[in-house]
Amino acid sequence: MGVKEIFESMDYGPAPESAAEALAWLVDQGDRFGHFIGGDWTEVGETFESRNPATGEVLAHLTQGSAKDVDAAVKAARRAQPRWAKLGGPGRARVLYALARLVQKHARLLAVLETMDNGKPIRESRDIDVPLVARHFYYHAGLAQLIDAEAPGMEPLGVCGQVIPWNFPLLMLAWKVAPAIAAGNTVVLKPAEYTSLTALCFADICRQAGVPKGVVNIVTGDGRVGEMIVAHEGVDKVAFTGSTEVGRKIREATAGQGKSLTLELGGKGPYIVFDDADLDSAVEGLVDAIWFNQGQVCCAGSRLLVQEGVAERFIAKLKARMDRLRVGNPLDKCIDVGAVVDPVQLDTIRALVEGSGGEVYRAACDLPEGCFYPPTLITGLAPADRLMQEEIFGPILVSCTFRTPDEAVALANNTRYGLAASVWTENINLALGVAPRLVAGVVWVNGTNMFDAAAGFGGVRESGFGREGGWEGLSAYLKPAGKPKALKPVAAMSGKVDALGEGLDRTAKLFVGGKQARPDGGYSKAVFSPSGGLLGHVGTGNRKDIRNAVEAAQGAKGWSGTTGHLRAQILYYIAENLEARAAEFAARIDAMVGGKGGKTEVQQTIARLFTYAAWADKYAGDLRSVPIRGMALAVREPVGVIGALCPDEAPLLGLVSVMAPAIAMGNRVVLVPSEPFPLAATDFYQVLETSDVPGGVVNIVTGSHAELAGTMASHLDVEAVWSFSSTDLSREIEAKSAGNLKRTWVNNARARDWTGPEGEGRAFLDHATEIKTVWVPYGE
Which residues bind to ligand NAI, rule: CB under 6 A?
163-167, 190, 192-193, 222-223, 226-227, 230, 241-243, 246, 249-250, 265-266, 298, 348, 391, 393
Shortest spacing between CB 117 and ligand NAI, in angstroms: 14
Residue among 166 and 361 whose Cβ is closer to ligand NAI: 166
> Closest residue (Cβ) to ligand NAI?
226
Residue among 338 and 536 whose Cβ is closer to ligand NAI: 338
Nearest to 119 by CA among 454, 389, 346: 346
Shortest spacing between CB 223 and ligand NAI, in angstroms: 3
Side by side, the strands of the sheet bearing 515-517 are 515-517, 510-512, 698-700, 668-672, 641-645, 720-723, 743-746
Residue among 267 and 666 whose Cβ is closer to ligand NAI: 267
Nearest to 295 by CA among 328, 355, 265, 340: 340
- Tell me the three state secondary structure of residue 751: strand
Residues 6+ apart with CB under 8 A from 11: none
Residue among 295 and 503 whose Cβ is closer to ligand NAI: 295
SS (HEC) of 568-622: HHHHHHHHHHHHHCHHHHHHHHHHHHCCCCHHHHHHHHHHHHHHHHHHCCCCCEE
CA-CA distance, 495 to 592, in Å (whole number)? 12
Residue among 89 and 226 whose Cβ is closer to ligand NAI: 226
Residue among 268 and 567 whose Cβ is closer to ligand NAI: 268
Residue among 355 and 482 whose Cβ is closer to ligand NAI: 355
Residue among 257 and 542 whose Cβ is closer to ligand NAI: 257
Shortest spacing between CB 352 and ligand NAI, in angstroms: 9
Beta-bridge partners for 516: 511
Catalytic residues: 264, 298
CA 517 to chain CA centroid, nearest Å: 36
R_g of the chain computed on alpha carbons: 28
Shortest spacing between CB 143 and ligand NAI, in angstroms: 23
Residue among 390 and 717 whose Cβ is closer to ligand NAI: 390
Shortest spacing between CB 524 and ligand NAI, in angstroms: 45
For 153, other C-beta atoms within 10 Å of its C-beta total 10
Shortest spacing between CB 235 and ligand NAI, in angstroms: 12
Side by side, the strands of the sheet bearing 524-528 are 507-508, 534-539, 524-528
CB 649 within 8 A of CB 660: no
Shortest spacing between CB 218 and ligand NAI, in angstroms: 12
CB 515 within 8 A of CB 481: no
Angle (nearest 5°) at CA 374 between 369 and 376? 160
For 344, other C-beta atoms within 10 Å of its C-beta total 10
CA-CA distance, 217 to 35, in Å (whole number)? 8
Q: In this structure, which amino acid lies at residue 343?
A: P
Shortest spacing between CB 325 and ligand NAI, in angstroms: 21
CA-CA distance, 388 to 395, in Å (whole number)? 14
Shortest spacing between CB 136 and ligand NAI, in angstroms: 16
Nearest to 63 by CA among 41, 46, 42: 46
Per residue in 556-587, is it b (16+ CB within 10 Å) or e — as a string? beebbeeebeebbbbbbbbbebbeebeeebbe
Alpha helices in 371-525 (DSSP H): 386-389, 405-412, 428-434, 470-475
For helices 679-689 and 564-580, angle between their N-to-C axes, nearest 10 degrees: 120
Shortest spacing between CB 168 and ligand NAI, in angstroms: 8
Q: What region, left, alpha or beta, does residue 95 occupy, with left being phi > 0 and alpha being psi -120 to 50 degrees?
A: alpha
Nearest to 778 by CA among 296, 552, 447: 447
Residue among 254 and 307 whose Cβ is closer to ligand NAI: 254
